[in-house]
Each structure stands twice: as structure tokens, then as C-alpha cells.
Structure 1
Amino acid sequence: FTEKPQDGEVTVGGNITFVAKVNTDSLLKKPTVKWFKGKWMDLASKCGKYLQLKETFDRNTMVHTFEMHIISAQANFAGAYRCEVSFRNKFDSCNFNLTIHGEAVHVSTEPDVDVWELLKNAPASEYEKIAFQYGITDLRGMLKRLKKMRKDEKKSVAFLKKLDPAYQVTKGHKIKLAVEVANPDVEVRWLKNGQEIQPTGRYIFENVGNMRYLTINHCSLVDDAAYCCLVGEEKCTTELFVKEPPVQLVKNLEDQMVMKGERVELECEVSEEGASVKWEKDGVELTRDESFKYRFKKDGCKHVLIINEATKEDCGHYKVKTSGGESVAEVLVQEKQLEVYQSIADLTVKAKDQAVFKCEVSDENVTGTWYKNGVEVKQDARINITHIGRIHKLTIDDVKPEDEADYTFVPDGYAFNLSAKLSFLEVKIDYVPRQDPPKIHLDCMGRTSDSTIVVVAGNKLRLDVPITGDPAPTVIWTKGEKVVTEGDSRVRVETTTGHCVFTVEGAERQDEGIYSVVVRNPAGEDTADINVKVVDLPGSPEALKIMDVWGFNVALEWKPPKDNGNCEITGYRIQKADKKTMEWYTVFDQYRRTHCVVSDLIMGNEYIFRIFAINPVGLSPEPCNTKDSVFIQKTDHPPTRDMTSQRLRITHPLVNRPIIAGYNATLSCSVRGIPKPKVTWYKNKVDISNEAKYRMLSKHGVLTLEIRKPCPFDGGVYTCKAVNDSGEDTVECKLEVRRKYPAWW
């Protein structure tokens, strides 16, 4: 069950509905649900004027809802009911009670009447009379069971005393079923719902002479079943009904008094964990609604009713009901006392000015209304009413003589108000033309006087500067001591309302410098300086030389270009070409140093090399080529300098360099020495050989450290240490990790 039927109460003639919900998410078919009155009366055959059974299915939640509607309840409808759900080998059941109010309950001092005994001993003509007298509604079902019992009453050979037709036990207690057999040595078998019972801690079998006992300890709802004692082919059966004890209240509700808007928690504790309870307010059952006003919380044996943001309507008597008792508590909700932190003050304002009435109260949730001479104030183009937190404001723009009045603020729900007077001050003045000194607003452009504007050579340079002033100021542009005019066809100066624009078509390196703009009018003047930087492509590298050739390797060295394009050289592009095909291939790109080793050259080929310089603008227009070519000799074995011994030394050191964050970077140096040295890399004197972020390569004497996707944390001092039998050598460099793009780019 996802929702079990709860105990219910109804007056005579009233209607009531019991609901059971079953989750079938893990089931292949619809489960079977049966409704019983007592332990044996199946209500499916009683549907009609007074009883209706309905079922619905929600495909979204996979939940079946089963409902039992009792219409025009009668006094004899009261009693214990049971709902069973089953699917193949799965079974669950729950008990609930129906109480009928409206007629006095007759308490008899006579002993309880056994209806079974009356029916067994009565003639068939008296059956209907007995059923009517004792409120039996399922007479047909009782007669079927009576017929079956009468068949079992034939003389038994194996049993001297059989089981009673039915037994009842309270949940958690124990019960002993007893039979007397004719043969004291015979073995008996006990069955539960047709399945043989094996002796366990809860099921105990006893043989005492002719008596055979089955003891069931700690009875639960699982033990509610049909039991059979089998002797050979002969058997006797009975039904065991397990009655759940009423759920008692261990801890009662307590009265509560809270302030308006506070949270209320009514807590009780019951005797059984997981038991269901019913909450009522002033006799009306509480349920979860769309506003989530009430929340119901279960925590083991504790049950809590939560009321969020209590209001005056939440005052009343709250009751919690269980199957074995109930508890009542009273909830009182009091209004908070509203305090005035700041009252509105009298104002005296001039024409066209702004009037602001402001007050502050203790509760930020309190709303209010503004009145002018007793008439509610409405918002319009001049009047603005705001409520932010505890502060309430009435703002009147462009005050006019008719705005003079008494203004009042009345908090909603409170019997007091705040008042103030607005007085209008009429001032006669002679008209004087307004004059505002001129102002240059570089901050509107996101720049300051220290900012630099960078423009690429050949592109348009446009300086658009916001200015203010009344009357409109005149604008003069200067570079150094020279006034810039439109004499040059590339230069254009414009002045519009609120802006002055200086434009240079096709910027050149000579246009770089500090530009000053001066604005003047009769009220004053203002000046501002703007630093302009013109960047261009770099020149070609110089003095490219072939420094060494060994094996399949060539060592190159060069000098930076004389013209860096007015910005930093960010790297070099090294290319090689076979002299036969003259097809160029890039060996290194964005290479930071001014020397490198080109490896993996092919034997028998003749190579030439060239280098481009790179800055943020782009690639140098022309490369620097080697004057001579290099021929890689053919040999069966890779050539070496000296196969016996050679002093260890680092021929090309590491170079300090900045790199761009997020792009893989390499540090390289060259080492010579025989025997082959052992190489270790360090970062800030810490060995990084086993870190996955770094990859160490060694090929033909070229040592390379690859740093994968560096971040600012990877900056520091890197050291390469080479060691062999002839000695050791170390070299280090400083690595700086910069953000992806320059701040001005």
C-alpha cells in the first residue's frame, strides 16, 4: 500500500469513503483487492444501494486507487473492516474501523451470543430470523461456511477433539492451537494456507499424550491465515484472526501561543512506529492543499503538524486522533505590535522641486495606503509610491501649487496613521541663461587618462569622446604642441551634440603619440589626454646561421628582428624544405627562443631553412633564410661524435619565456655526452618526473619538457639536470604563464 484506509466516523444516514492506493510500478498486471467486514464477509457481493466499490488508475504515477463508498450508513454498518491486496506470491492487508454515531449504544449484561452455535442448532426456517436479530448481512456466506462445517462434523477416526472453527489473538501475543488425536503415537503435520509449517523460534510443536499443540509466538498480521492439522489423509481446519491493538498516544499535544507570521509545530508521540493518525481543526479534518499551508511530518513514533506563517485564521483547537485515543491543543496567534522607526516629516518645497515623504516601520511585510487630505493617492507620471523592506516612500516630482496638502500614511491592519504637511514655496527669480562648464567624460568609454588605445597599422583610428557643456563647447585636438587640422586628407574632425570625433584613415606608425582634446565655453574649459599606440607586423629575423650538424640533426641560431612592430615578439615559425622539391614544412610554431635543433632529417637529402617572426598582429611579411644548405650524409648507423667517451655538457640552455595559458608549451635544451646521460626535470627544485601533467622527451641529444594546458599555477623556475659517469650539468629557466589574450587586445 502507498496509502492505507484510515478509521472513520459517520452519523446514521451519512456517507463515507475509504481509500486505498497501491503502487504497481514493479508489477506486470493489476493487483487483486478485496474488502471485508470483520474477517470473513466479502463485500464484493454486497454492492448496491448502500455500498459501491470503485477503482481508478493513474498512468503517470502507476498508482491504482481503490475506493469503498458507504451510502446512507446504518447503525449495523459499524465494526471492523479489512482491505487485502494480492498479486501472485505478494500479499498485504490492513484493518480499519467504522464508527456510527446517532443512536444510543445498548450495553447488555447478558453473555455474548455465539451466532455459529445458534445457526448450527437451529432449523433452516429460523436462519433469516437469526440473521436479522443479530445484524448478519452476509447470510449466504455464513450458510456456505456452516454447510462446510457440518460436513466436517462426521465422526472422525483420527481426531478425538478437532480445532475450533476460528481463533482470535492480539498482535504481538502468542496463541496455542490444540487437537486431541486417537492414537497417541501418530505424527501430525501442521499447514498454513496449504503450506507445511517448519518448526522455528516462532512456531513450536508439542506432543503430550494424545494432545498435539501448535504454539505461535509474537503473532503478526502475517500469521492471519487458515491453519490445518493433518493426520494421514484426515484433517481439521481453523482460521486465525490477528487483531491489531489500538494505537495509544504516548505524548499529548501542547497548547501554543505564537506571533503572526511565525511557524507553529504541534507534536505528539504514539505507541507504534509508522502508525497513521488523523489531524483536525475545530472538528474539520486537515489535508495537504495546493497552498502547502499545512505540512504533516512523521519521524518514527513522532507525528508533527507544521503551520507555516501563522495568521489569525489559524487560531483554534487542533486534535490528533489514533485508533486508541485522541489529544487536543489550542493555538493562539497574536498580532505583532508595529513600531515606527521613522515618521514622515513636514516639507516645504519650491516649484519644480521634488518632495519625498518617507517613513520606516518595524515589519517589512506590512503594506499601507497614502492619503492626500483624506483622499487615497494614486500613482501617475509625477507621483511614485514605493515599498522596499521596512521603508515606505511617497515621491512627488515637479511640485505644483495644487500639491500643497496634508499627507497621511495608514498601515494596513493597524489602527493608527502617520501625517505630515507639504507647503509650497513660490519664489520669483529673474531668468538667467543656464551655463554649465564643459566636461570630457572618458569614464563613459570605460577608459581613464592612463588608458592606451591600440590600433593596427592600416586600420582606421577613431577617437569618439563624450562631452557636455552649456552652451555647446568648442573642441580643439592637438598632438604634442601641434594643433591637428583637416589639412591632411587622412584626418577628419567632427563635433556633434554630446560628442567630438577624431578620425584618421589608414593609421601609420607616425600617428602614434599622445593626443589632447580641449573643450571650451564661456563657463570654463576641460582637457584630456589619450595615448594612441600603432602596432604593425614585425620585421624579418636576422643572421640565421647553421651552428652544428650531427646525425639527423641541425642546430640553428638567429637574432630577433630589428622592428618588432611596436609590440612584443610572441614567437617564431621555423620551416624546412628539401632543396629538390622546395616544399616548405613547419617544424616549430610559436617557438619562443632564438635557437633550436631540427631533428628527424632524412639521409641523402639536402635542406635549407627559413624563419618568420610572430607578434600579436601576425607573421612577418618576409622570412629570414639560411645562406647555405645542409646535406645529411648517408650511413648504415646513426653517426656519433665519439663512441668511447665525451665530456657531459649542455650545449643549448633553457631560455626564460612567457607562455599563454591553456595552450601546450615546451621547454627544450641540448646535451652532449657519452655515455648517454640520465635526465631529471625539476619545478621549483621539486622532481616532476612522475607527474602526469608533464611529458619528458629525449631524442638525439635534444631534451624536451612538454607542459599540457598550463595554468598560472604552472609558472615558476624549471631545472634540467643531466648526469653520467663523466659528470653532471644543470640548466634552468623561469617560466611565466600569461592569460589568453593581452588586456588591450
Structure 2
Amino acid sequence: MDLASKAGKHLQLKDTFDRINKTYTFEMQIIKAKENYAGNYRCEVTYKDKFDSCSFDLEVIAAPDASQTLDIRSAFKRSGEGQEDAGELDFSGLLKRREIKPEEGPEIDVWEILKNANPSEYEKIAFQYGITDLRGMLKRLKRMRREEKKSAAFSKKLDPAYQIDKGGRVRFVVELADPTVELKWYKNGQEIRPSTKYIFEHKGNQRILFINNCTLADDAAYQVCAGDEKCSTELFVREPPVLVTKELENVSTYCGERVELECEVSDEEANVKWFKNGVEITNEPRSRYRLKVDGKRRILIIDDADRGDTATYSVMTTGGQSAAQVQVDLRPLKILQPLTDMTVNLGKEINLKCEISENVPGRWYRNGQLLYGSDRVKIFHKGRNHRLEIANALVEDGGDYVFVPDLYLINIPANIHVIDPPRIHFDSLNYPDNTVVVVAGTKLRLEIPVTGEPAPKIIWSRGDKWITDLSGRIRAESFPDHGLLVIDCAEKEDTGTYRMMVKNEAGEAVAHIKIKVVDIPDAPLAPEVTEVGEDWCTMKWDPPLYDGGCPIMGYFIERKKKQSSRWMRLNFDLCKDTTFEPKKMIEGVAYEVRVFAVNSIGISKPSLPSKPFVPLAVTSAPTMLTVDGVTDTTVTMKWRPPDHIGAAGLDGYVLEYCFEGGKHSERMSPVSSFSLILFCLTVYHLTINSTGFQLFLFLVFKNEL
């Protein structure tokens, strides 16, 4: 039956091709075997005009009952009493060499038995005599029975089939009726030529073909032709079981060494399988294991063995097996060059190096954390030397470093201390001109960041005086990452330059910090009224002696009536000058004015009030001045009072004159001699001692202004 048509859920056929070894592998898998699957199977391979086959028997047995299973391990436990290993599993009992005793007996011709047997006994005979291709033998037997016709060329034909062990010599014999007939031998249709393997002999009417050193390739159909007649047979080459003639030996070695497990088998062409702890070892190109064949020797080679190679290795042949224990231990590790502690400046390179006695990899740890390679962290391993390089060291790179060789319980420690000269980062606070401005009466809390490793010590001073008091109005405190200066209720006297110095083992740094205490300005001096009018006046003042540490932005002006206590602001926009002209005052009422100075902090206290002043209007000029009469010594004049007389009233008149052509007028004296009459026409008699002069007369009113 062709099984290809039966492939499916319970039967799978697979074939693979190894391009490296150029071999095909054909595999048949039976899933969930049943009892009716038992029987003889045959795999036939054809290539062009070549043919080969392999047959085998499949026996299906029932699974053992779990309740009746025995503890097979108990059969291999050590039974020694009082010994430390008593009761442990003794696998060495399986490894004892056993000699296979060849079975001796008369040679039995299976073909003769099958010829004379009942067909119902064929399977029993095949099982009894180890026939693997019963179906093929029955087909040949059927063809033999059909050849009942007597041949004219052959007086004795070939037997229907021949069986020979691998490596043996087979002899094919035919007898010719006519010894002159030319004879030709064929193997699978190909003519056989004489050689060292194929030998032809003639003995009378017998024609004999010898095949020496039979191999599986000689398992084929053979044919001899005498003229037009043919005689056929088949040769079955049986491969004898391959025995292990030299057992494997236990091996104990160190890591890195070369391990060779060697055994000898009974056949140079025998195929063996190697196993590690029961798992087959394949001879792949990238495998750590190399399989070597040297005649009958079979060698398993392990280069550069490690602890993972410790296992039980076994070799299995068709007729036997052997096992050995391989123990790979670590060599005692010696530290040839330990790591050294280092102190590294920030930004420099950290370089750690150690040397150990064995060429094994390892791992680097920092503060218990595994280190991995990166652009900045480089890990090198060359032979027995291990090196760690860290570029541009950071503060966090400091700590405890440990190198741990793989497979060893050994630590190689080192301490790295990364130091950084102290730095004061006052510029990061963005104070203009390094000046800190604080308003008087408020609290200053100045925190200045500092860096450095180890944490620097911070010292504050002002002038030659150190600031060490921790409870005063001015105090300083130190922290690992910043310095603190505190001024409670800042005063004008606190203005000045303060010095901050930071120091650690890597160096020191100094910063000068200006602290400026600003306040409202002092009050300006009392203003001075320089001119008054009917409802206005002109005033001026001097700036305050202390501007509060900030430029004066302007002034506010207030006024009040002298008899009142209510001041009124005269401007809402700052007056930039130190002069001002108040308006809209009541004529004849006494007033006082005062001034406030303003800076960016606030408004100063008011200045002292000015001296009281009264706005008064000026009296207009007298009118209708005429000369009423002139004599040699007198002039009589007439005029009327001014049209507008202010709140100050009119006290009298003053008469002035000058000669014609003169530039200055002269007041007539004594003034007290004038007759002053208010609100009426007044005649004034002017007496002049000389005559012949032309006079110009001027009349001026007089009051308290």
C-alpha cells in the first residue's frame, strides 16, 4: 500500500534537505498509534535509474497501567550500609560493559521454509526469523512459483533471493545448458563489469559472480542474461549490529580546557549518536561540539569547556551504548592587579583597571547597580584584563565600584570620589550690577545657589567683620546647595558690600554682593513764596537732603488757609521742577503751602509750611493828571484817584519829576510833606528854585504793597 495517499491527521510524511551535508532526510510520523498500525513498512528511494529501499517492522503495544508501574529508580539505588552514598541513585550500574555473545546455530534457509509453509504461517515465520520485508519476499516468492517453464539456456537458475551480512561476500551461481552462450550480469538494469568488487568465474557449465565486501548499496535486484533468456534474483544486505568495543571514560577538567570523549566501534562505517543528558548532540557548523571520525574511533570534542558542559555524555550504536561523566570545574581565581581608589575632578576621566588569573568575562557595578556600556561609559575585556572608562565624570559617578568575574564568588572593589571646586551661582539670580535692593523696614532673605563636591563650607562677612551670629538681626546660614543671608527689618545703615566665600578640598570661590537699602526720601525744606498776585503766587524749594537711595521722581504741593487745618493737593501729576505757581486763591486771604518729595519707594513726609502770604491785586494808575497853574516857582496839578483800588486800599501818592532830556526821574522829597488825600481831587504846589527849565511830572499811588 502506498502510504502517501493515507497521509493526514494520523499519518504525516516529511522530507528535508541538508544543503551543507547534501543529504535528504525522510521522516514518517504516526500520531496516536493503534494496534492495527503494526506491521512491516518499507521506504523506497529512486533516482534516475537507481533504486534503493529500507524496511522495518512496527510493533504497537498497549500502554502500561499506571497503577502497576514499578519504581524503576529503586533498582539502581546503592545498597551499601553505613556509607555516605547509601540510598543514592547508582547510574554507573547502567554503564557496565557487557559483552554480546554471538548466537551460534545452523544456517537456516528462510526461502525453503516459506516455500513449504502454509500462507497463514507467513507472519509467524517472518517474526521468528527477523524478516523485515515480508511483503517483498512474498511477491518474489509468487514470481518464483510462476516460473515453472523449463529454461532452454539455463540448466540451473539463480535462487529467487540471497541474503548476506554487511561486509560479507555473496556468490551467485548459474549452470548453462550450452557453455558457449555469452552471459551478461546486471544490477538494477546496469551491466556489471569485472573489478575487485565484482569477480567472474567459469567452472565447466557454471558461471559464478562474486560480490566482495557487500554494502547497503549492493542491496538490489540482479539479473543474468543468456541470449534471449533471463534469470533474476534479489540480494538483501543485512547490516549487523554495531558494537562499542572501547567504552567512554570519565573526564574531569577546568574551564577553558579542551575535552575529548573517545570510544571505538566495531565498524568503521558505523553511524553513532551522541547524547548530553539524554539530548542528542548534532554536528552543526556553529555548534560548540565537534564530532570526529577516525577509522573505528568516534570522538566528541568540546573546545573551551565551561561549567555548562558538566553533564553525562553517552554514545549509542545499533548494538550497544556507552556513557561517561564530564566534570568541568572553575580554576582557582587569583587577583593579579586589584582596583585602586581614585579621587577625580569633575569633568575628568575615570579609569578603573584590574587583572585576574583567568580569561572570564565579568560585570561592573556602581553602588549595587549594574553598569551598561554607552557613549560615555566604556567597558573593555581583553584576555585577563578588565577596564572601565567613564568620560567627563559627573558628581553622581562617585561611589563604590565592584567588578564581579562571572562564575566566581569574588568581588574586586574600589571607591571613586568625584570632587568639584566650589562655584557661586549669583549671576543666575539676575540681579543687575550684582546689587540686591531691599526696602527699609522689610526682611531680606537672600539665597544664593552654590555647587561643589564635597559640599562646600560657606562664610559671610561685611568689611572686616565675620557674620557668625545665628540669632541676630543680620545672620547667615549654610546649606549643602546654597548660602543664606537674612536681614530682619532692614535699615539704611545695612547698605554696603557683603562678601561670600565658599571652600572645599577642591578649592574656593568668592563673590561680592552689594546690598542697597532704599526708603522714601526725606521731607524737602520749607518752600519760599517769591511773588504773589491777585489769586496766585510763585513758590520755590530745595530738594530733600536724602533721596532714599532712589532718584526723586517729582513733587506734590499742598496749600491751606492759615486759619484752616485742611490741606488741599494742588497737583495730581508729579511736578518735576522745584518751582510751582499755585492759582485760584482768594484775594486778601492768608495762605500757607508745603511740599512732598516722591521716589520709586513712596512719598516723603511733608515739608514745613511756608511763611503765610496774602494774594493782593495791584492798584491801577491815577487818571486825568493835568497842570492847573504854573508860576515862576510853583506848579499846580490836578488828577483823579485810580479806577481800580485793590484790597490793600490807597494810602496816598508819590510825585516824581525829571528835567527835559533827563533819563531818570527824581522823587520829590520829603515825601512826608506831601498832602495825601484819598478819593478826592488833590492840588499839589510844587516849588522850584530856578526858572527856565521844562519839567515832566509823574504821579504814583502808594499803599501797603
TM-score (norm 1): 0.40
Of structures 1 and 2, the larger Rg is shown by 2
More strand by share: 1
TM-score (norm 2): 0.41
